Structure 1
């Protein structure tokens, strides 16, 4: 029985989980061996792998609530989670590059984090992404060759056999979107008609070269979402060494000198302190990870002094280098109702906005429903029946930053996304829109289109304004605590925070550069890498103690 079968398993197992976790919560310990902050696509992986260590106590903290909600489990209802209580609902500071707009920045706030509210697309990232990670960190274990082996080890692939790229029997069930909508298949034909090759999968040879088109790989099984929390954590929640604590906000990391000793949290309206015997791992995402670091005294000294936060370690890169994928919707009206299948976005393209580029930088994606930005919807009301091609920029050159507005956990962040600040990003996004129009108006998709609603054929100046008004976040916020070796790096190749002990970061914030495509799969790999590193250190420490060697 694999993890997914057990995780979705019997009433007996469910009752065992509830009883065990109720007991663990009512008898919270003052200290655990490992504290993992955040139950998203990286944190759930880290907590599970550390709970596999015999006799190691693990505490997994999550600010959000439970995930037993229809809009979470039903794949085609994921858009309903955006803006709900399951979304942190961050927003960027109004920007002149977006014509004064404040762009929403959704992030998951519940067990499973983003993996419980996202579109369930499994996208590994391009070969060049991982080789860049290896170069920046100086560690070949982050290279594509190494990471490919990790993907093969963890995947349980249910598609066409491909032993050179895919693994079977692993923890993570992945399959191509089953029985895709005819429109998705037509999109591939449309892509081929404009010179884009079609592949069996977006995660094999397609991510080693110039790109192509494919039906997406999904984290959906038997018509239900598979979040990373449900895959990694839930099957272990009947065990006595793994405590999962939702509705618990991490406010700061506790230090003795330069050594992390635990965390301060707000739980059931009370502020409590919990010790960590070995390590604290921050997996809170691209906004909350740097926020907690700064509120704990780790960050730019001048920024911390603004709010009287005592300095633990000067790291000016904390909160810098923010990156995100940006998209603009091209929308068509249809004659008939479009009944969404699977996740409602079953076909994708990775391509170059300029043939001279070394790898893809744009990603048209089919959405089986209209999805305009609020500003575009005001000028061009979406049709009652329709669909979109999401014109996405996946290699942004614009970078942003975040700042504290106060020292308290309740003080909001000030987020400067700088979206479309770089002129090359505007050009690439316009080309992505043009590519979507070419595919969307192709003969293959004509049977599904009554008319093109937006943007239509526009002169250059109007197209520039369209993308600035239409741009929305693809919800892949990353890179604010980057891994590297320069003065702005926050963690080293082992994800250890520079200058302090017993503190690591494992989430999308450690990316030196945002990966090509949806970020869930790379965040799982980051969690796996962190767990490998920590377990190796723990094993060496235990062996040293057994041999009587001082640590």
Structure 2
């Protein structure tokens, strides 16, 4: 859609009061990972007017809690950066409510996450493509978009697998600590291979990880995609703009309602509305706007626009635990947690972009199969040269090391359901962790494989004993009981508005349009039919890149038929 009226829109918020009088070609709800990429690609045509409404704050350049990689523990749990979701009591985890951090800032969760860049296994996308209507989402069709978004500094420029001209500059972890050397030796002693690149030909194996870190600073989606084009006259970005409803004329979306800085509700018109709020906010907003299971919405007094029972269903995530060991040698990162060292560490980062603060410390890990029945790795490992929880707390205060581990494609499924017509009330999240036989079996295998690696001879000179879960946890049931007590989300919620053509699908895979209505699309982690094998930031960005071409009606990038490693030939 194009309009004859032309006007200038700048990145400031003094004129947001005029928004209701303006018509945009695209209104993007959410300035997070996918929203930042879409804003860049859709506004590249100067005749296309794009508005981004982000409910969180701006990612100010001086904000060290965002841009210092090692400060990643600070935004988690802070009301200034984090939506602070909690699940409903999880029935298979002793009724615990599992905390879920989601970015409440420009860049979304890419501004507060662990900065690990993993595409997933190529066979994840073969699985996607096996569903009806999804043939153009196989790895051959996705690989060109991974390449388009990347600037992979570590890979050869002739490597068919990696891109070198995209906005996402990737640095590979140096993994130079003696503990990393022991880890790489130990995995081989345990019978697992090394690989050159977990995002290349062979994911299976262990290697240094690609990270969204550039010259010692976090490179969020907003910094990579949005800020470089913020001065485009046809692009406007408004932060602290909380969208409360998609406005429909019949079954066509014509705009959104939102409040700015908690003020009165206002409305803006749109040729098309694109939801990029993520796997929790997107189904919530769809339901608030009348799209979802009709009986459930009517019970809450929501006017139904279209019966779409798949909205909020199919919720998937990765659960993880920390398996921690003490170190006999003082070679871990533990001293850097002490307050007395922080001024010097901060100065190194501020003036030299170096030192312990310039890394996310998730510098290496890998992927393994826990049994011979699976076709590709079902376990992911992140190795850390320190024993510490994600919130920054240390279990013993001494030197140590750990792996984060968890199954990658559990068959547990959950839901996201609104509890109220009030947009400010968080929806009910039910993940159903540990609810299936497969999930429980693979959790036992995950812990046993981790212990096998961490007790290999390569660690003999460091191993001071297991800190967590501890030697009292041995049997299968004891392991499951410990996971239920101690497991945390790896922060990969997804799949709640899945692409497809069956009755429970929400989004058309050929256009990203929401089934049954016009003028409304979804582009974020919620459209995945199955969660990928790894951290999900890279797949979300790939989906956004591919979606941009679909939305603009551009010829898709031609598929790249590159052979990838298969355990079963």
Q: Secondary structure at the match of 1:21?
A: coil
Distance 1:443 1:228, change over 3 A: same
Say which of 376, 390, 402 aligns to 2:416: 402
Please show how residues 471-550 of structure 1 align to structure 2 within 5 Å: 471-493=487-509, 494-536=511-553
Say which of 177, 181, 206 aligns to 1:181: 177
Distance 1:442 1:31, change over 3 A: same
Q: Secondary structure at the match of 2:438?
A: helix
Q: CA deviation at 1:84?
A: 1.1
Please show how residues 167-178 of structure 1 align to structure 2 within 5 Å: 167-178=163-174
Distance 1:349 1:61, change over 3 A: same
Please show how residues 57-456 of structure 1 align to structure 2 within 5 Å: 57-68=49-60, 69-85=63-79, 86-161=81-156, 163-178=159-174, 180-207=176-203, 211-268=204-261, 269-277=263-271, 279-334=272-327, 335-336=329-330, 337-338=332-333, 339=336, 342-372=359-389, 381-456=395-470
Stretch of structure 1 that moved more, 241-250 or 462-471: 462-471
Partners of 1:40 and 1:443 lie apart in 2 by 44
Report the equivalent of 2:47.
Answer: 55
CA deviations on 1:39-72 (whole Å, 9 max, x unpaired) are 1111111111111012111111111112222111
Partners of 1:328 and 1:403 lie apart in 2 by 27
Number of aligned pairs?
515
Q: CA deviation at 1:468?
A: 1.3
Partners of 2:383 and 2:537 lie apart in 1 by 19
TM-score (norm 2): 0.86
Report the equivalent of 1:44.
Answer: 36
Report the equivalent of 2:12.
Answer: 21
Partners of 1:200 and 1:64 lie apart in 2 by 38
Q: CA deviation at 1:530?
A: 1.4
TM-score (norm 1): 0.89
Partners of 2:530 and 2:307 lie apart in 1 by 22
Distance 1:538 1:243, change over 3 A: farther
CA deviations on 1:520-550 (whole Å, 9 max, x unpaired) are 00000111111111111799xxxxxxxxxxx
Partners of 2:462 and 2:308 lie apart in 1 by 53
Q: Secondary structure at the match of 2:485?
A: helix
Partners of 1:235 and 1:24 lie apart in 2 by 22
Judge conservation of contact 2:244–2:259 (CA < 8 Å) in 1.
yes
Distance 1:387 1:179, change over 3 A: closer
Partners of 1:364 and 1:477 lie apart in 2 by 18
CA deviations on 1:475-509 (whole Å, 9 max, x unpaired) are 00101111111111001112110000011100000
Distance 1:301 1:26, change over 3 A: closer
Partners of 2:137 and 2:325 lie apart in 1 by 41
Partners of 1:220 and 1:177 lie apart in 2 by 9
Q: Which structure features the higher share of helix residues?
A: 1
Judge conservation of contact 1:184–1:215 (CA < 8 Å) in 2.
no
Partners of 1:462 and 1:476 lie apart in 2 by 26
Partners of 1:486 and 1:264 lie apart in 2 by 30
Judge conservation of contact 2:50–2:235 (CA < 8 Å) in 1.
yes
Judge conservation of contact 1:176–1:218 (CA < 8 Å) in 2.
yes
Partners of 1:271 and 1:537 lie apart in 2 by 36
CA root-mean-square deviation: 2.2
CA deviations on 1:275-330 (whole Å, 9 max, x unpaired) are 002x1000101111000000000000011011111110100010000000110111
Judge conservation of contact 2:11–2:237 (CA < 8 Å) in 1.
no
Report the equivalent of 1:34.
Answer: 26
Q: Secondary structure at the match of 1:206?
A: coil
Q: Secondary structure at the match of 2:140?
A: helix
Stretch of structure 1 that moved more, 183-192 or 284-293: 183-192
Judge conservation of contact 2:290–2:304 (CA < 8 Å) in 1.
yes
- Provide structure 2 residue ranges, at least 5 long, that are not aligned to the other structure: 1-8, 337-355, 557-569
- Provide structure 1 residue ranges, at least 5 long, that are not aligned to the other structure: 1-17, 540-551
Q: CA deviation at 1:191?
A: 1.0
Partners of 2:10 and 2:276 lie apart in 1 by 27
